[in-house]
Each structure stands twice: as structure tokens, then as C-alpha cells.
């Protein structure tokens, strides 16, 4: 999921709960049968006005799951002296929180106090993929919302500068495999990155090269034209792949041709196992979609919440 702020990683971990509370695809069948149609409607409505919504929802869900599990802690507001996750450096550019809030408001009218914000976000992320031309899947439901949200914990998120060892350790600490790492990286088929997240690859790369030598030189030159060394344009950046509003396997194809944006993307080509998976997904959209769905379900089944919020921005 596209990180837009490079972040120095510290190997400091906070506990993420295992999926001890069984999730179920039919969890709300009797208590809120209209849940999925309400969430889908909110996502569709937002997309009419902003075509970046799918990428934003997918990224938000990823950032939520990687801190304390899928508990909607990313949606909580800062309060008093506590800075919440949404105000942590990697999350400053998160948007589309209002989509979840609009869905929650509609659900509170239809089935008050029943549906968690965490489940709404998980469903919205799935809808984001489907409405961008990607696969559809049953989202297991029954998550609870968390009561803790701290900006300092966002240092746990994988940074766009990570090498393969850092990526593997980061994912393994959440019970996610190498295949999950490569499949979930395919979420970069949607989205946009600001210059700050890849500036290190196109200017002063190291003592020998100004530009990362693994990059296609024409691609790097285009990025440098958009992101000069002393860029002053706040919103300057680049789409994450050539079809950044369509969920497809173009990300992997471009990666194999030296046209990836992040160092963490390029890192997937630095071990035989991850490179083989990149090749597999580049050659088969079906294989990518199957792996992506499995990994999304696995990632979003990490749960740690305690309650059902009435307002996604505040605890009860």
C-alpha cells in the first residue's frame, strides 16, 4: 500500500492480537443484512467525485492492520496529549476517512450500535478493489474497534526505503509470509506517491551513482523532471503504475522493466523466491488476484479491538 512519507524504521514492536475471535462472512446476516450494500453505496458515491478513493481506502486499511490489527485505530482522533495514528508521519496524507464515516452514519440509522468501524473499513477496502476492476471476495466479519491509537506506533509501518530483509521481518512479525509480502505489494497497482518517498532513488543515490542503477534510465529521467532535487511543489509525485486507477498486474510487469517507484518495490527482485513470485504475478493476473485475496483476508483477520464505536473518530 503506497506509503508517501519515508520513515526510518525502528525494530520496536507492539502486540498485535491473533484472530482468536472467529470472524464469519455471515456475521451480520440477521443483525444488519443491509451492511454490505450501504458500504458499497458510500464507496461508489465518493468515487464519483474523487477517483483516488480506491487507492486511499486500500492504503488506509493496510495501515490500520499493520499497527494493532484490523481495529480501526487509524480512524481515531488525537485527544489531549495523545497524538493518534492518523497524525503519525506516514499517515498525514491519508484521506477518504469520510467514506467510512458516511457509511457508519447510515448504518447507525439502519442498525444502531451493531457494526464496527473496523468491519466497515475492511469492506470498503474490498469494494475499492472490486470497483477498480479487481477480484471480489467474501470479507470475514465480526471485528471489534480498538480503544488505543498512538502516532508513535506508526513507525511499525513498512517504509518505501526498506530492503528485502526489513520487509520480510516486518511482515513475519504479523504472521505474514513472503508470498503475502509480494502479493500485498501488488496493491501499488492503485495510487500515487509524493516525491519524498522515492527521492532517494533519483538524486544522490550513493557515492557512485546519482540515480539507482536498477531503474530504467528513461523512467528515472521522467521522475527527475517531475521531482527535481530541491522540489518545492507540495503535491508533486508520480502514479504508482501506468494504470493507477485500474486494479491489474501492471505493477509487476513494470517492476521487471526497472519502472518501480519505491526502493521497497525494487527489493522484491533481490531474492530468488520473491523474484519468482513477481514473475508469476506478472505473467498471470489470475494468479495475482488469487494470492492477493488470500493475503488480504489473512492480513485483515488480525484483530485486537474491544468495542463497537458509535462514532468512528472517538472511543465510547
DSSP string across the chain: ----S-------------S-SPPBTTTTTTT-TTHHHHHHHHHHHHHHH-TTHHHHHHHHHHHHHHHHSSS-GGGPPPBTTBPPGGGSGGGTT---HHHHHHHHHHHHHHSTTTS-HHHHHHHHHHHHHHTTT----PPPB---B-S---GGGGGGSPPTT--HHHHHHHHHTTT--HHHHHHHHGGGGS-EEEGGGTHHHHSS-SSS-SS-TTS-HHHHHHHHHHS-TT---TT-EEESSTTTTS-SSHHHHHHTTT--SSHHHHGGGSSHHHHHHHHHHHH-HHHHHHHHHHHHHHHHT-----B--SBTTB--
Catalytic annotation, residues: 63
Amino acid at each position: 500500500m503506497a506509503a508517501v512519507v519515508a520513515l526510518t524504521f525502528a525494530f520496536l514492536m507492539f502486540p498485535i492480537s491473533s484472530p482468536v475471535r472467529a470472524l464469519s462472512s455471515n456475521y451480520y446476516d440477521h443483525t444488519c443484512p443491509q451492511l454490505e450494500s450501504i458500504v458499497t453505496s458510500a464507496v461508489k458515491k465518493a468515487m464519483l467525485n474523487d477517483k483516488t478513493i480506491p487507492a486511499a481506502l486500500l492504503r488506509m486499511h493496510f495501515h490500520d492492520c499493520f499497527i494493532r490489527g484490523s481495529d480501526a485505530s487509524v480512524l481515531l482522533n488525537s485527544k489531549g496529549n495523545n497524538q493518534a495514528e492518523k497524525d503519525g508521519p506516514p499517515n498525514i496524507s491519508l484521506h477518504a476517512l469520510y467514506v467510512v464515516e458516511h457509511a457508519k452514519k447510515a448504518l447507525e440509522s439502519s442498525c444502531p450500535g451493531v457494526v464496527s468501524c473496523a468491519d466497515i473499513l475492511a469492506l470498503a477496502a474490498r469494494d475499492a478493489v472490486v470497483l477498480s476492476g479487481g477480484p471480489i471476495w467474501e470479507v470475514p466479519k465480526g471485528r471489534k474497534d480498538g480503544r488505543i491509537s498512538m502516532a508513535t506506533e506508526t513507525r511499525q509501518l513498512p517504509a518505501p526505503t526498506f530492503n528485502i530483509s526489513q520487509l520480510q521481518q516486518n511482515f513475519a512479525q504479523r504472521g505474514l509470509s513472503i508470498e503475502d509480502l509480494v502479493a500485498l505489494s501488488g496493491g501499488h497497482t492503485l495510487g500515487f506517491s509524493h516525491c519524498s518517498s522515492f527521492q532517494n532513488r533519483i538524486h544522490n543515490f550513493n557515492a557512485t551513482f546519482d540515480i539507482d542503477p536498477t531503474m530504467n534510465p528513461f523512467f528515472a529521467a521522467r521522475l527527475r523532471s517531475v521531482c527535481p532535487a530541491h522540489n518545492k511543489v507540495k503535491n508533486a509525485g508520480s502514479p504508482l503504475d501506468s494504470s493507477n486507477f485500474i486494479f491489474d498486474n501492471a505493477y509487476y510487469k513494470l517492476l521487471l522493466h526497472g519502472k518501480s517507484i519505491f526502493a521497497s518495490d525494487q527489493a522484491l527482485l533481490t531474492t530468488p523466491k520473491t523474484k519468482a513470485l513477481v514473475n508469476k504475478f506478472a505473467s498471470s493476473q489470475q494468479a495475482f488476484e488469487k494470492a492477493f485475496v488470500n493475503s488480504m483476508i489473512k492480513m485483515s483477520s488480525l484483530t485486537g479491538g474491544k468495542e463497537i464505536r458509535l462514532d468512528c473518530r472517538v472511543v465510547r
